[in-house]
């Protein structure tokens, strides 16, 4: 399982600009074709967005930090999503009006979540914009309707429920084990703070790979420099998992 932004694709000023390079895509395809591997992506993006960018190699795709998941003959849609859709819509319209003073602010409306990106904003205004964005949602945050999540030059508002990438990883693992009829181990790759939830959920038989330079609070097993290294790792693992002649 792997995150998308910063792990499979380089971080970009706006979400629309992110893409998987041909080299990384080749690595994904190579490892996903292995008969003993199930490949999945767990992202903060909407599920359909992730699936379109990664392609059919991903057997499981989880969006909104795992609040929505699709896999072979199974799907998950958290009950809290529908209850916040109108709240998110109102906040998106309010934020667009109230943050118009700050150039470079980008509001990503995911229907059930809303992210304020300030990567393109002037550095001296970016923090203030994020503070005002969070203040707009203060009533919903205090009422535990929404929670805020800090990202890379961004702040996200989403349903305040005990569900995150770690829960999604558990959900996917359980379905894979049921389908195969045996226990499996997870190799999880991620670069962001939200991936720490998955890192904390994994067991002793699983492997954690931190991607990029940011420090991780969870003890990681390995570190890769960025998406290009992730693609090379997948390609190398695919070769190592090839059966030897005569096996």
Distances 211 to 15, 112, 125, 219 between C-alpha atoms, Å: 18, 27, 28, 13
Is 3 a residue of the active site? yes
The residues, any chain, with a CB within 8 Å of residue 136's CB and separated by 6 or more, are 91, 94, 95, 98
What the block records as the tokens of 112 is 């059930």
In angstroms, the CA 205 to CA 6 distance is 25
Separation CA 66–CA 60 (nearest Å)? 11
Read out DSSP for 39-56? -EEE-SS-HHHHHHHH-T
- Catalytic residue chosen out of the listed positions 3, 191, 197, 206: 3
Instruction: Please give the span between the terminal C-alpha atoms of the chain, in angstroms, as a whole number.
Output: 28
Residues 233, 236, 242, 246: is their CA dihedral positive or negative?
negative
Among 192, 155, 154, CA closest to 6: 192
* Cα gap 125→85, rounded to integer Å: 29
List residues with catalytic annotation.
3
């Amino acid at each position: 399982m792997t995150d998308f932004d910063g792990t499979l694709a380089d971080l970009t000023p706006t979400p629309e600009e992110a893409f998987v390079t041909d080299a990384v895509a080749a690595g994904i395809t190579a490892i996903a074709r292995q008969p003993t591997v199930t490949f999945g992506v767990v992202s903060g993006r909407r599920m359909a967005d992730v699936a379109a960018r990664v392609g059919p190699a991903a057997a499981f795709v989880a969006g909104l930090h795992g609040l929505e998941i699709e896999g072979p003959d199974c799907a998950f849609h958290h009950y809290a999503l529908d209850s916040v859709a109108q709240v998110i819509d109102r906040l998106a319209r309010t934020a667009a009006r109230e943050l118009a003073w700050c150039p470079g602010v980008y509001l990503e409306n995911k229907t059930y979540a809303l992210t304020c990106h300030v990567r393109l904003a002037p550095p001296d205004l970016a923090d203030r914009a994020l503070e005002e964005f969070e203040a707009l949602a203060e009533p919903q945050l205090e009422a535990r309707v929404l929670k805020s999540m800090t990202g890379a030059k961004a702040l996200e508002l989403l349903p305040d429920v005990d569900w995150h990438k770690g829960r999604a990883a558990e959900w996917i693992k359980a379905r894979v084990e049921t389908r195969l009829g045996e226990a499996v181990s997870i190799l999880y790759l991620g670069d962001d703070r939200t991936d720490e939830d998955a890192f904390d959920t994994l067991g002793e038989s699983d492997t954690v790979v931190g991607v990029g330079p940011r420090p991780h609070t969870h003890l990681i097993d390995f570190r890769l420099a960025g998406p290009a290294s992730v693609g090379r790792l997948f390609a190398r693992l695919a070769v190592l998992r090839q059966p030897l002649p005569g096996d």
